[in-house]
Structure 1
Amino acid sequence: MTDGDAGPTRRAALKYGGSLAAGLAMAGCSEIAGTGESGTSGGGYTVSMSPTRDVSFDEPPETVFTRLTHHADMAFALGRGDSLTAMHAPDYYDGLWNQFVERLPDVSLDWTGLYSSWQPKKEKLYDLDSDIHLADPAWITKQDAWSESDIDEIADKVSPWFGNSLSDTHQEPAPEYAEGYEYYTLWEQFELVAEAFQERKRYEELAAVHDDLLSTIEPALPEESERPSAVMIASHQMDEIYAYTLSNPGFLTSHTRPLGARDAFEGSVESASVVDVETLFDADPDVILFLGGFEPETSITERRELFREDPVASEITAVQEERIYPQGARYQGPILNLFQLEMTAKQLYPELFGEWPRYESGPYPEMPEDEQLFDRQRVADAINGNI
């Protein structure tokens, strides 16, 4: 379908609340910009989130375009996992997410075969005809050279944009979005997405689980000087190691920042930098968190072996003490965040929260109920709408 074939929005029930340009012109109005408030008028309702500001709906969206996995997980958490039309690397993340979903009773997820939307084509968005684009136009224009007019066209002729991604690391938006751009925590944004889908009860139940989990973890943490030093890495070979620090701003660290581990690099390395083995050896972390270690095609056993066999890496404290642990994904939504908070708490502080089971392959380890830090059944019931 070409741009010239585009008609009006398929669902007259979903209306974009003014053009994006108009929303940006109002960015200085504190009662609108990034307040996260929602309101109702007649049979419809309006939800506000930066950068799109006020977006009006007459009914909750049914089909959902996403680009990044924090948004896909939010839709899943709200009972819309089967409603996705697109996401980044769907087959990869289907395999990864299902390693965790396996531990939620009577919950299923299937993202295989969806349109891979890392570099979305405008014509494809017409074809998908989704009821909402749960994605950040400021991210898409920053990454893919979409113009504001392209963004407005899709909003006017297909369905609204509603999402925020630059809160990942508090990235700087492009100049046309810079004024009034707001940053949200993972759970603040999830609340706004829940408002867009009119799923307040699901959100409140999952937020209560999250609050309970943090109230278990945070008061128990030792003094900072007694905490382990740690780093998160991603690598296939020893000559290219991506290193991530654990407490920088943004929702990518929403499962590590609350745990307060010490930065093994002591501020000398920026997050997402490529480092060599010698740099990692000099940092000498007590714990190495291996990003993507749960993905079915990634062998955490082989990765550990690479470190043990390397003459330099084998001298790192985390390697010698066998404290290389798997992680899931940084672009986490609320469901993955709950598992990763529990997992990382055990990996960093086994003496406080229980030993992390030795993991080689397969789904997230099964744990006796008294060793779980959050209630799986409660989470499953929220996703399934049994509240």
Structure 2
Amino acid sequence: MSDNDNTIRQEAPTRRDYMKYSGVVVGGGLLAGCTGDGDHGPSSDASDGSEPSDDFEPSNGDDSYSVTMSPVGTVEFDGVPETAVVYDDQIADHLVALGQQERIVSLGFPDRYYTGYYDELPGVEFDTSDLTALYTDELVLDKEILYELDADVHHLDPISWEGTFDDADIEEIEQNIAPFFANRFSRAHGYQGDEPYEYYTLWKLLDKYAQVYQVQSRSEALTRTRDEMLEAIRAELPPQEERPSVALVVYNHDENTFGPYLLNGPGFGKAHTRPLGANDALAEGTKSYASDSGSYSMEAMLEFDPDVIIHNFDWNNVRDRTEAFFDLGDDPVGREITAVQNDRLYAGGSALQGPIFNLFQLELSAKQIYPDLFGQPPEPGESVSEDEQLFDRKRVADIINGEI
């Protein structure tokens, strides 16, 4: 888009009356140095539970309301957004969980979005075939696409788009199209800038999106479902010293090395492993993945000798590296690792998880880490038999569809 086009659009009266926006901080320095989203630091939120929000303000005498969330500040809505721009999978999952999937007009990679979990929820569907891809071979994201989509809200964290949009771009998009409303760096508490940035649990984020779409009862019901499942799981767990040691990794079969992740690290990216309280086999050697902590050799992994090894991200996206991971028994050193000898190698869930992904992945992780307590985990592409499910699929589907 040319400079002249940009000037025209800034002056044109195209800002919709549908929404009003206030309170976002877009001043100097806020967008600098914050595109990473890695794992580092100990977790401070053991429960990941959601508390009633005090950041929702209904207005008197009309249908407007406002919702406050870091880093975007306070956003005022004149009504529920009819269309929403989404890039990240986890935000799409939040909207599906709230029954708002028909409002989504885009994804970063629509053809890669995993819908297998929804297939297990009766009456829940999310068709991504007609969504606009925000990432193409030519570009990552351009203002022109946002103008063409002309959505009522952008579920994009403005902090994460440094290098794509500058402060002036952010202000222009807000004024001419619609506000931003998202918090991306709660994934791993990975914000590295200088301005204040508040982190939220997965379930607190769900509450925020529920406020935007005025469906708080669904958020509350889904949170209760998750809390009930986790309470039942924790009631069965053995003492800490008797729990297995677990390594969360990505295997590089070309170099025969393991990239380590913190099993119990902070953020919603670990909301399916941290609450289970297993012992991190790599905790003493693993630093921040984001700060290039390096990889471990096969010999180093044997020295750690975990009881269980989980291959991060790949349960819903099996690929060549996953297959190579399952063949560790062919390696003369790898076959000596306890997890390999006991056939305790698993493909793990995705860190890009909203509430539906989390329910399924928490169940999956519980079975992978504690199969004697919760039953054997399914293979990728398979489902848990009804008599071994840890949460009620029909109940979750009913909540999503508003039948609470």
Q: CA deviation at 1:293?
A: 2.8
The match for 2:109 is: 89
The match for 2:208 is: 192
Residue 79 of structure 1: which of 96, 99, 104 is its match?
A: 99
Alignment of 1:126-137 (within 5 A): 126-137=147-158
Task: Report if aligned partners of 1:186, 1:254 keep a CA contact under 8 Å in 2.
Answer: yes
Choose 312-321 or 248-257, whichever is displaced more. 312-321
Residue 343 of structure 1: which of 338, 346, 364 is its match?
A: 364
The match for 1:55 is: 75
The match for 1:114 is: 131
Q: Which amino acid aligns with 1:151?
A: I
Alignment of 1:328-339 (within 5 A): 328-339=349-360
**1:151 equivalenced with 2:170 (yes/no):** yes
Bigger fraction of residues in helix? 1
Q: CA deviation at 1:145?
A: 4.5
The whole-number CA distance in structure 1 between the counterparts of 2:320 and 2:156 is 31
Task: Report if aligned partners of 1:47, 1:55 keep a CA contact under 8 Å in 2.
Answer: yes
The whole-number CA distance in structure 2 between the counterparts of 1:274 and 1:130 is 41
SS of alignment partner, residue 39 of structure 1? strand
Alignment of 1:206-221 (within 5 A): 206-221=222-237
The whole-number CA distance in structure 2 between the counterparts of 1:301 and 1:50 is 36
SS of alignment partner, residue 355 of structure 1? coil
Cα offsets for 1:342-365 (capped at 9, x unmatched)? 1101111112222223x1x42x41
The whole-number CA distance in structure 1 between the counterparts of 2:240 and 2:145 is 50
| TM-score with structure 2 setting the length | 0.84
The whole-number CA distance in structure 2 between the counterparts of 1:265 and 1:185 is 24
Task: Report if aligned partners of 1:139, 1:173 keep a CA contact under 8 Å in 2.
Answer: no
Cα offsets for 1:115-140 (capped at 9, x unmatched)? 33353212211111111111211122
Task: Report if aligned partners of 2:158, 2:170 keep a CA contact under 8 Å in 1.
Answer: yes
Q: Which amino acid aligns with 1:159?
A: A
Residue 272 of structure 2: which of 233, 247, 255 is its match?
A: 255
Q: CA deviation at 1:197?
A: 0.9
The whole-number CA distance in structure 2 between the counterparts of 1:293 and 1:245 is 16
Q: Which amino acid aligns with 1:87?
A: L
Cα offsets for 1:328-349 (capped at 9, x unmatched)? 3101000000001111011111
The whole-number CA distance in structure 2 between the counterparts of 1:166 and 1:299 is 29
Task: Report if aligned partners of 1:166, 1:173 keep a CA contact under 8 Å in 2.
Answer: no
Task: Report if aligned partners of 1:71, 1:135 keep a CA contact under 8 Å in 2.
Answer: no
The match for 1:169 is: 188
Between the two structures, name the one with larger relative contact order (CA 8 Å, sep ≥ 6). 2
SS of alignment partner, residue 67 of structure 2? strand
**1:102 equivalenced with 2:107 (yes/no):** no
Task: Report if aligned partners of 1:187, 1:334 keep a CA contact under 8 Å in 2.
Answer: yes
SS of alignment partner, residue 79 of structure 1? coil
Residue 230 of structure 1: which of 246, 252, 275 is its match?
A: 246
The whole-number CA distance in structure 2 between the counterparts of 1:377 and 1:13 is 35
The match for 1:284 is: 305
Residue 58 of structure 2: which of 40, 60, 67 is its match?
A: 40
Q: Which amino acid aligns with 1:199?
A: V
The whole-number CA distance in structure 2 between the counterparts of 1:36 and 1:156 is 27
The whole-number CA distance in structure 1 between the counterparts of 2:75 and 2:390 is 37
Task: Report if aligned partners of 2:314, 2:349 keep a CA contact under 8 Å in 1.
Answer: yes
- Structure 1: 5+ residue stretches without partners: 26-34
Alignment of 1:311-326 (within 5 A): 311-326=332-347
CA separation of 1:355/1:271 partners in 2, compared to 1, >3 Å: closer, same or farther?
A: farther
SS of alignment partner, residue 230 of structure 1? strand
Task: Report if aligned partners of 1:10, 1:129 keep a CA contact under 8 Å in 2.
Answer: no
Cα offsets for 1:4-56 (capped at 9, x unmatched)? 4534456411111245348x99xxxxxxxxx7511111320000001111100
CA separation of 1:288/1:112 partners in 2, compared to 1, >3 Å: closer, same or farther?
A: farther
Residue 66 of structure 1: which of 73, 83, 86 is its match?
A: 86
CA separation of 1:347/1:19 partners in 2, compared to 1, >3 Å: closer, same or farther?
A: closer
The match for 2:6 is: 3
The match for 1:28 is: none
- Structure 2: 5+ residue stretches without partners: 31-52
Task: Report if aligned partners of 1:70, 1:333 keep a CA contact under 8 Å in 2.
Answer: yes
The match for 2:179 is: 160
Cα offsets for 1:49-98 (capped at 9, x unmatched)? 011111000111121112222211111111122322222222112xxx22
RMSD between superposed Cα atoms in Å: 2.4
Choose 40-49 or 237-246, whichever is displaced more. 237-246
Q: Which amino acid aligns with 1:132?
A: V
Task: Report if aligned partners of 1:307, 1:319 keep a CA contact under 8 Å in 2.
Answer: yes
The whole-number CA distance in structure 2 between the counterparts of 1:39 and 1:163 is 18
Q: Which amino acid aligns with 2:165?
A: W
